[in-house]
Structure 1
Amino acid sequence: MPHCQYQDKIVNKTKTKLLTVDREQVLTNCSRLNTLDRVSDFNYLGSLITNDGNCDSEIKRRIQIAKSAMTKLEKIWKNTNITKRTKVRLVHALVFPIFLYGSETWTIKANLKTRIDAFEMWIWRKMLRIPWTAFRRNESILNELKIFVRLSDICRSRMLKFLGHIARSGPESLEKHILMGKVEGKRRRGRAPARWCDQTQSYLQLRLHEALHTAADRSTWRTLSRPNHNAVID
């Protein structure tokens, strides 16, 4: 069986893939690792990790998986004996969790937020069996179902709750070290990509250190991380 020894550990080459999260895709002082198969993305614990550190592919993948789950429940949506409120609860219990898996770590840009909102409206139209030829505005559908919290708002709330968890963790927390740490050297010219922590400033109009200080108070942070309105599903 082909294998290599690295740091006193035997690694099976046929079962090991190498993913380099770096723009240049260059490995230095790692001649032994260069013998492994290199991949551009890798599915780790149910989440897709790409070599550029971007979560666009993961969000699109989650949308497709959730759409597939929604389609498999076609018999439920066609059943007229089930009330709309019950169907909404089923969507929140059976479909949304599939999409929201790992959403705490997503960096949601403006175009992705639009895609998430469009996916949510596809869910409600599919549930109500509204054809594309029917000229129904999104607002009328949301009012009919009494949906006051959008799916993108739920993603925002989960991200802020996770940030509060990191802020209240101990000084030896790995997540806190990653969030507050800095990489030595200079980055290349050009606009810097959007970071996960940059969402805090856009959501709360607070800098990262201010948000971490505010998150120390659980009651205050719970209010800030809560969606703007009370959801239909408790």
Structure 2
Amino acid sequence: MPLKLKGKIYKSVIRPVLLYGSECWAMKKTDEKRLHVAEMRMLRWMCGVTRMDKVRNEYIRGSLKVAPVTEKLKGKRLSWYGHVKRRDETHVTKKAMSIHVDGWRGRGRPKKIWMDCVRRDMKERGVSDSETGDRREWKKKTYCADPK
């Protein structure tokens, strides 16, 4: 089977399974790394290459025409954020995003929250919160396309 066809199958069948529900996860660096490792294992297996062959990840991605799964994850997360921001004020997801819980947190480092991930992704892509209103522009700035 040609590598290009294998890449298309990966993009349409395997990657959606990997990223299912990922727009709502508060991903830590270790989680992102695990996702990346799982993806590269599959891509190497599809190409018939082992790590002992010392083939670079970029070369494998280029031959299958596949973008990194972490970049796709960030694009999906920002897409979901824009979708929720454009919702009606009475919608449950919009309410949940702006909820404030009274009380205090324990000692130590605070838990990573989803909004921290969104803010980091927006900073990396160079977009702001005010740009979510225009759906077409938001998609242009946040979407991660696969290489051609």
- Give the TM-score of the pair, scaled to structure 1: 0.58
Return the offset for 1:232: 4.3
Residue in 2 aligned with 1:222? 139
Asked if 1:108 is matched to 2:23, the reply is no
In 1, the alpha carbon distance for the partners of 2:98 and 2:48 equals 47
Where is the helix percentage greater, Structure 1 or Structure 2?
A: 2
- Larger RCO of the pair (alpha carbons < 8 Å, separation 6+): 2
- The structure with the largest alpha-carbon Rg is 1
In 1, the alpha carbon distance for the partners of 2:51 and 2:104 equals 50
- Alignment partner for residue 68 of structure 2, among 145, 150, 155? 150
The residue matched to 2:94 in structure 1 has which SS? helix
In 2, the alpha carbon distance for the partners of 1:143 and 1:219 equals 28
Return the offset for 1:84: 0.8
- Alignment partner for residue 117 of structure 2, among 199, 202, 211? 199
Q: Percent identity?
A: 25
Residue in 1 aligned with 2:18? 99
For 1:1-234, what aligned pairs fall within 5 Å after superposition?
A: 82-147=1-66, 149-205=67-123, 211=129, 213-227=130-144, 230-232=145-147
In 1, the alpha carbon distance for the partners of 2:133 and 2:44 equals 41
Where is the strand percentage greater, Structure 1 or Structure 2?
A: 1
How many residues matched?
145
- Give the TM-score of the pair, scaled to structure 2: 0.88
In 2, the alpha carbon distance for the partners of 1:99 and 1:146 equals 17
Q: Structure 1 unaligned segments of length 5 or more: list them.
A: 1-81
The residue matched to 1:197 in structure 2 has which SS? helix
